[in-house]
């Protein structure tokens, strides 16, 4: 079985939980996901099955979109509501839409983030959350992220709790910590803050309305209709131009051979090579010609 399943990951499950259950449902070990979601986050989690595990990295390169809620007035150890509250500051008057939007605008484009202590980033061979659980401090690496859109969907003031609730949408590059982004937004507004909930709306070119739940997958397998729901390997490579190979070219590509620049009807830096309509390889252009980046099939 080969193909990509745009899975809907429910809250309360880890990404590995999803993979483990799918291995049992699909009766195969060759499964990988493209981009971990925290247990408290739901939404789009593209799953690669069989030969399509070779394109996980290309799915991960695509941008992601999220929606969620930031609570301004309290900070936690994890920057979301899974952690313990470590700081509070009453929001004594509503924060205006204009002020929130102006702060968001300053946080778009390329930014530098420091990952939260409760994250899977490795430092000296250990994950940050391992240091955090042991009560140890360690210098965290600074990371670049690109925020293409950071928009306010709704802005509400809770006068009883003296908190501001900002509902937001984010479009960003891979590796962005949304928890950190919104906690930094609260700081920019002069308060501690933590993310209450988060949903991933898009990942790997898949949107929420394309997803299947684990129960949907199980039902499709039971009714022998799962093939109808699998996306081909091409879906992960749709941003690249493709070229159909001749018989002679395919013979060379089967053995990892290079192709001359003028052999292919393209000048693209990277190109998908097909034979008989089937995707076989991704090649990239060098000064000597086109060289293999990744082989997907030699049959």
Name every residue whose Cβ is closer than 8 Å to that of residue 48 and which is 6 or more positions away in sequence.
Answer: 4, 31, 32, 33, 34, 54, 55, 56, 59, 236
Q: What is the DSSP string of 236-293?
A: GGTTS-EEEPPHHHHHHHHTT--B-GGGSS---SEEEEEETTEEEEEEEEETTEEEEE
Indicate which residue of 2, 38, 42, 234 is catalytic: 38
Give the pLDDT of the chain (299 residues) as one tens digit per residue: 899 999 999 999 999 999 999 999 999 999 988 878 889 999 999 999 999 999 999 988 888 999 999 999 999 999 999 999 999 999 999 999 999 999 999 999 999 998 777 777 788 888 888 888 888 888 888 889 999 999 999 999 999 999 999 999 999 998 899 999 999 999 999 999 999 999 999 999 999 999 999 999 999 999 999 999 999 999 999 999 999 999 999 999 999 899 998 888 888 999 999 999 999 999 999 999 999 999 998 88
Catalytic residue check, 38: yes
Q: What gap in Å lies between CA 201 and CA 74, rounded to an integer?
A: 26
């Amino acid at each position: 079985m080969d193909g990509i399943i745009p899975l809907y990951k429910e809250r309360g499950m880890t990404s590995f939980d999803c993979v483990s259950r799918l291995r049992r449902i699909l009766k195969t070990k060759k499964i990988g996901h493209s981009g971990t979601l925290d247990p408290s986050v739901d939404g789009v989690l593209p799953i690669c099955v069989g030969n399509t595990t070779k394109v996980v990295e290309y799915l991960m390169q695509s941008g992601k979109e999220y929606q969620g809620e930031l609570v301004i007035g309290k900070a936690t150890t994890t920057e979301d509501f899974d952690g313990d509250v470590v700081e509070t500051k009453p929001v004594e008057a509503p924060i205006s839409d204009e002020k929130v939007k102006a702060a968001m605008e300053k946080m778009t484009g390329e930014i530098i983030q420091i990952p939260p202590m409760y994250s899977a980033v490795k430092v000296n061979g250990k994950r940050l959350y391992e240091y955090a659980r042991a009560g140890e401090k360690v210098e965290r690496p600074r990371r670049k992220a690109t925020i293409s859109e950071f928009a306010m969907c709704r802005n509400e003031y809770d006068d009883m709790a003296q908190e501001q609730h900002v509902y937001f949408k984010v479009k960003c590059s891979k590796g962005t910590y949304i928890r950190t982004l919104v906690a930094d937004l609260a700081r920019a507004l002069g308060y501690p803050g933590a993310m209450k909930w988060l949903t991933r709306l898009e990942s790997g070119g898949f949107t929420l309305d394309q997803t299947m739940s684990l129960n949907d997958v199980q039902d499709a397998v039971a009714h022998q209709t799962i093939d109808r729901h699998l996306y081909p390997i091409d879906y992960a490579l749709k941003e690249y131009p493709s070229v159909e190979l001749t018989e002679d070219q395919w013979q060379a590509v089967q053995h990892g051979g290079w192709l001359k620049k003028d052999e292919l009807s393209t000048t693209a830096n990277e190109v998908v090579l097909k034979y008989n309509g089937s995707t076989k390889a991704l090649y990239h252009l060098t000064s000597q010609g086109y060289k293999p980046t990744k082989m997907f099939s030699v049959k």
